[in-house]
Structure 1
Amino acid sequence: MIRQETANLNGGKRAELSTRRIHGSSEMADAIRRHAWEGTALGAIQDWSAELVVAVNLMLGSKLISCLIWGPERVLLYNDLYKHLLGTKPASMGEPFLDVWDEIRDQAAGIIGEPWKTGEANIFERVPFRILLNGELVERICTLSNNPVWGDTPEGPRILGLYQSIIDYTDAELVERKLRESEAQLSAIYDSGAVAAALIDAKTFRYLRVNSKLAEMLNQSIETVTGTSVFDLAADVKALRNQLESVARGEALIGVSAEGELANSPGVHRHWHSNYVPVRSEDGEVTGIAAASIETTQQKKAEAALIQNEKLAAVGRLAASIAHEINNPLESVTNLLYLAKTTEEKSEIAEYLDTAEIELRRASAITSQTLRFYKQSTNPVAMTGEALFKSVLSVYQGRLMNSNVAVQERMRAQKTVEVFDGEIRQVLNNLVGNAIDALLPNGGRLLLRSREGTDWSSGDKGVIFTVADTGSGMPSHVLEKVFEPFYTTKGLGGTGLGLWLSKEIMDRHRGRIRVRSSQTPGSSGTVFAVFLPFEAATR
């Protein structure tokens, strides 16, 4: 009885002493105080050396993942943060360090071995470990520092233990790996794509990053282009500066075009089609410009070739009409000259020759009109709607004469439009020619109108030209494709380029071309409306 009371008293004193020596209210502080240290190599807490007590309290108060590896047996003590590395491992407090980390025993021994031998601290940066965590081997990536704890012994100063601090970078490293992988994938896409891509500084307009396609397009190396001003390489691409300055102010530009010469390829006119998007910082400031471009020079050349082919095809289609128009006055001249040769009356000869001269002037007028029709102006000219329509109708007079087609004109537009007249004649010629084709062989009405009006989609004011026919009309599936290149309903007699080219010309003049058609019996026909701003020509 007395012995039991004495044991309880001594146990209480030991618990009280443990509480006084081990500070803090953390889970591991309580676990260390409760642990049966008497059965370990460290012995009871009241018998611990001052160095061990100080080290334990320092470890428990640390804001880092920390542990102590103490004594020759390498006994493990640790703080609350260390627990997440242990997971569901069996009780590890007070166990030999290498037994706790048996799955990485050799790696762990290598990390702590050197400080025990040399007494010098070491550090291992972002070391990958394959540890047993909650029953599974998982990778943890940690930075560890090992600091020897020295103490005085009868044999002199000795290393009593190691204080180990750990920073777990696993989550950050995995995020960084994914970012690196994503960046590598994006770089591969960025560099292997057919689009020339770049990141441009929004203030200096210098290339911050370019892909190989852009460097190839500029005929420079990536290293040379990076850091160079866009305008040093493309000073003669006039629209480029305004486009980039607009994006630097926060406006995205999609599907814009530019043309000009590059500094290292003078004399070579080139075309580009680009998208520009502002890149913003966290506070919303535009810091960069993401650019994606494709060169359309070859496409433009191909389009120019198609346009030229269509012009030649149009000339071919009109050749018969023009030949007929010229043939009539020439036949009259032949007959008049024969009569002049066979008569002896000077007055009659003079009359025959005067008439022949008039017929020759008529032939000359027809040829001059035809040349004027297809000659491309280098500068825009002011034209009235009536003048444009009359120049087109003059080419078709012979064809219309015996076609049973009634032409009805109403010219109300008084103001002139600034246009490249050869191109606009080509558009109207194509529409009038198509309308006449639609009316043959049965005939009908061809309506030509001009009036002043407004394009409500843009607010521009200008002249509206109308070409309408009372033919059979077009079905909906044809209407959907009339402006597509190479689409024709005329078989071998058509190129399928006329209306496509007409739309291209109208786009260059900032105009619009629209079509309506009906196949309803009694009200069938097709109407084309062409809008031209008063100052249509911008080139």
Structure 2
Amino acid sequence: MDSEYNPDTGSPSEKRLVTSEQRVRNIADAVSEAIIMIDQSGIITFWNPAADKIFGYTREEVLGTDVLRLVARLEDAGVFMNRLNGLVETDIPPIPDQIERIDAVRKDGAEIALDLSASGISDEDGWNLILVIRDVTEQHSREEEIRRVSQELEAYAHTISHDLRGPLSTLLTSLDLLELALDDPESGATREEIVQMIRRNVTRMYERVTGLLSLAVAGRFPSEVETVEVRSVVAEVLEDLAGQIDERSVEVRVDEDLGSLVGNRTQVAQVFSNLMTNAIAHNGHENPVVEVLLVGREDGMLRFQVRDNGPGIPEDCMERLFEPFYTVGDTGSTGLGLSLVRKIVTSYGGEIDVCNDGGACFEFTLGDIAPG
């Protein structure tokens, strides 16, 4: 594809060949897929403009270099080399419609997902492998999100059917008892006891459904956004939790300055409320203390800690702590609080982690929420 042609001395057949080669080059320059050719040593010998856009390298930067510079992992390198070795050993070009998914690395270090097909051509130096590559990073991300949501929904369906079956069964039994008590006042359980049993189970189901609805909308961009003074949000949460704090004689320590961010006040409150409720409920110390601290500001993010001086979290529970419906011990909670917290934190561009440091310590970051 690098023939030199002199129009004054070339024959008509040479002219046709050069014209044909130029036509092929024009086609390669026009397509949106990257077209790369490598020789039997894996050295790049052809690179079209679409490859510039996908990988971030110019033609001059990559010609004569090893194609393996483009791959992200050893197993992806194997895709190139297997195709190349098979071509050399069998003298049979690969089937172009066999598409493989690989991970590659752009010049800027970003990983991208690619669909790759290969074919071969031979010249006087032997076989060359032609790679046709399409960037499917966005499609891959959507597929992963669909897969994640599908798995999440499957887990929800399984857990809901399990968790709601118990209260519903108890409700049916309670209604039978209530019917019996109405027919025969001497039957045993009082109507008041049965009504309380029904109330407890209806409340339990209501909390489950409410928690699921909160979790479902937690990652969406909220309709109401404002500048939120975090200290004032925590003050409101403390008012809501005043009964639990007084009942357990908890000392709560809150930094005077917790910063501010652009977001939804209710969502920010949900984060602190869930973490502080856990810190109070699971403390168990003779003199329980809960702290809400601003421990850093970095790259537009606020770094917080909500910590207690209780026994901490069992190590074997750490990995599953943020899973929907997962609970530590028989607390009677829905197991949705920490899942909700993580989903909100993530939507604010942050991360959350937990460790034991003189008690349970949740450390997380929050920034200004952005649509998308």
| Structure showing greater relative contact order (alpha-carbon pairs closer than 8 Å, 6 or more residues apart) | 2
Structure index of larger Rg: 1
TM-score with structure 1 setting the length: 0.33
**Greater share of strand residues, 1 or 2?**
1
With structure 2 as the length reference, what TM-score do the two structures score? 0.46
